[in-house]
Amino acid sequence: MAYKIENILACVDSSQYSMTVMKHSAYMAKAFSAKIKALHVIDVLQLEGPFMYDLSGALGLEPFSNFASKIKDILEEKGKNILTSFKDITDFYGVELSTKMEMGVVSSAIIEESKEFDIVFIGRKGINAAYERDILGSNIEPVIRKIDKPLFIANEHFYTPKNIVVAYDGSSVADSALEYAKMYQDKFGIELSVVNVGKDSKAADELFKELPQKFEKKFIESEDIPQAIVNFTNEKEMPIMFIGAYSKHRILEMILGSTTETILRKNIDFPLVVVR
């Protein structure tokens, strides 16, 4: 499959991860001469239901008596400030930016908007990161499961990657991840390593025979596939990981979770690109 990066969707909020989304997407857009559309979604759940009722009660106000509209105005103003901050970054990189702000269910809005774009950028955590028990942000899991575009999941602290790691198991989605990583390598001219984790080194050797010799190829014997991949990636200077999504049966993935999601739930601070 031939990939291209001409139109980028960057999903932004007020989190530190979102600031990294802005920088990563602008950096990539400049390299590929691409355009960026910034999407900021006002979470409808903040304006409806128990959250609003409890908040208005805590402040001694009549529930929903002009209160929701006032909160909406505040969130809209906050959203405008976020998009203005993004414009400052894209101006610095010399990248074209358009913006959109809407109200809705965050994950659903991202998935719907993504249909016209080549790649989607999102932060690994959102504005509620400090209060979420799970390491994986609440809006990311449904996006990973349902989006059909490459997904760039930004880390907390921005850097320009110096090493590419591809998690490779020979599946069709792993091949897609490798092809996407090769496009990234060709553009930025950085080192690319392919890692396979499992128990069968001979099977890994057979997989590696099909790959170009210019790549570093590493087999790691381990039963903990996600942790071994993370450890290998962390050994690299300023890495970026490329991985395929859902290489097993989708029903099993729904029950057991994927290697990709397991990696995201770990305390990592490198960007990760999920490719189908």
Report pLDDT digits (tens) over 194-226. Answer: 999 999 999 999 999 989 878 899 999 999 999
Q: Is 67 helix (H, G, I), strand (E, B) or coil?
A: helix
Q: Using one digit for the tens of pLDDT, what is the confidence trace for 27-60? A: 999 999 999 999 999 988 766 655 555 555 555 5
Q: How far is CA 57 from CA 49, 123, 143, in A?
A: 13, 32, 33
Sign, CA torsion 226/232/234/239: negative
pTM: 0.88
Q: Walk me through the domains of the chain, giving residue ranges and CATH numbers.
A: 7-154 (3.40.50.620), 163-267 (3.40.50.620)
Lowest mean pLDDT among 42-46, 86-90, 97-101, 168-172: 42-46
Residue 133's pLDDT band (cuts 50, 70, 90): very low
Element containing residue 151 per DSSP (H, E) = strand 151-154
Q: How far is CA 7 from CA 33, 208, 260, 267, in A?
A: 9, 33, 24, 30
User: Is the pLDDT score of 163 beyond 80?
Assistant: yes
Question: CA-CA distance, 140 to 107, in Å (whole number)?
Answer: 7
Question: CA-CA distance, 103 to 141, in Å (whole number)?
Answer: 20
User: Is the pLDDT score of 23 beyond 90?
Assistant: yes
